[in-house]
Structure 1
Amino acid sequence: MAKDDDTAFDQAGFDEALRRRARMVEAVLRQVLEQRPLAGEIARPQRLIAAMQHGVLAGGKRLRPFLVMESAALFSADGEAAARVAAALECVHCYSLIHDDLPAMDDDDLRRGQPTVHKAYDEATAILAGDALLTLAFDIVADEATQLAAERRAALVLALARAAGAGGMAGGQMLDLQAADAPPDEAGIIRLQAMKTGALIRFACEAGAIVAGAPAAERERLAEFGSAIGLAFQLADDLLDLTADAGTMGKATGKDAAAGKATLAALHGEDWARRQLAGLVAQARALLEPYGAHAAMLADAASFVAARNK
């Protein structure tokens, strides 16, 4: 129900759309994480598959897959191919969570209200589960079962690799580790967050346009939208770390402050962060104006990112 502020939206309608997309993507995830080996595979160890399933099928909003499918929907391309690309992206995201939770990284025992993979299994199995999920993501996109022209599949593989690798998410995690010893300035924090969190969200929005074979200008517009909501997502996450409790979040909170991590919310304060969130939502929604009502769910996703409580 629209109000005067840019963060107001139909929460119930959006939640239902999010659940509907999540069910579609989870059906693909269950299929690709079956025990039965695929053509060219020798065998799938039961313990490894179980750990991968634990890391992927334990719930979650599935926001990144939602963004893939809704971006594709702008061009009437939100079918099975988009669902498979969305599932591939979720594999990358979940691999990163499994590895982030390890004792050598963030050392978390809880994820989505359940034991983290290394707690439910062991550290070595968690590392392998993450490795296998990352590899599986590219398997899904490259497979002919993702019924797209070869050049579109290749473009998706390249864009996902750039978003997930040394110049994207993994590089952002490295910067985050280094920040413990040498806290970055504001520009450094923005760069770190754009890589660690924002890169996969940017890819999610751009991927829908690639799936659809949309023109380069449309692909870039959606990527810019993804960058805006990626920064908004991290700002909201930083605020939640400061203000929410572990029971609400389903994971430990207050860890950034305890570790002395530099965040924009800590640097400028809660009120500043909330004003920035509102500005980023307005910027993101403005980028979608050329699409009119067709982009309503994507516009609501920008508001959801800022208003979420977990």
Structure 2
Amino acid sequence: MSTIIEQARTLAGYETSSQLLQLRDQDWVLGRAQIQPRRLLDLGCGIGSLLQGAVERWPSLEQVWGIERSQLRLDLAREQLRHVPAEVVLQQGDLLDLPALEQRFDLISMTAVLHWLYPHEDRLFQWVARHLGEQGVFLFTSHHPVSQQGLGGEDELVAEALLAMKLVTPGHVQAHFAEAAVLPMGMRTRPRVALEALVQRHFQVRSIASRSAALRIHSIEEYQRFHAATFGTYFSPLVPPERIEEFFARLGAIAEQRMARQGHVTDIPVSVWRCVRRAEKSGA
């Protein structure tokens, strides 16, 4: 088994691959808080980079919490945060099946996670609304790839790889995704208007700031590591098991070609949402 396939299966290497996109957004997201929180919770905290950045930004933080599904990433987060002055609480958990907590938070954040919760985002929004303090802020990011026939962002590279491997014909790509029960990333994020309507069931949306998130690489191997750490084996059902290594090789070559041709691999608009609790309705 190759190193890259093992990495995909374990989602290892996120501490390196996250530097290509997620870490660039960290200061931008935290800067939208506009409060001085004492208790912070990061949902899908990964290796704890946002929590580390928050402690550096706000020395007054008393507690930082992180919830993450991957035990490997939690272990890395625990190591990264072991010297911070704030109390650190890290828990393993599925964001769509979180237990109730007694704690309430001044700031709850969630970055580069929302698309993985589709179509059940409402479950997480309900949970956040119950755990946000009276004056608390909820910050989260959403990605909106330009979708061509339901395929956007990473789907485009995957489609090119499938075509190059002669696993599909040009008119059969979308059907191949459906047959393999792989929902394209371009369909995992709701359109902004639809998402705003969903969010407003639980929060007041105070602001939405958007900017481009271009992925740039220096080598085929760097892209392969990024894909393995970020998407793992998500797209693997599209490919026969004996051709998985070829699939990753094709993805790397396609990413390198895109980088040379257009100066980036993908360029996806990302938005950071600043939300607060809905005002309580007074009784008649």
Greater strand share, structure number: 2
TM-score, length of structure 2 as denominator length: 0.32
Larger CA Rg, structure 1 vs 2: 2
Higher RCO (CA-CA < 8 Å; seq separation 6+): 2
TM-score, length of structure 1 as denominator length: 0.30
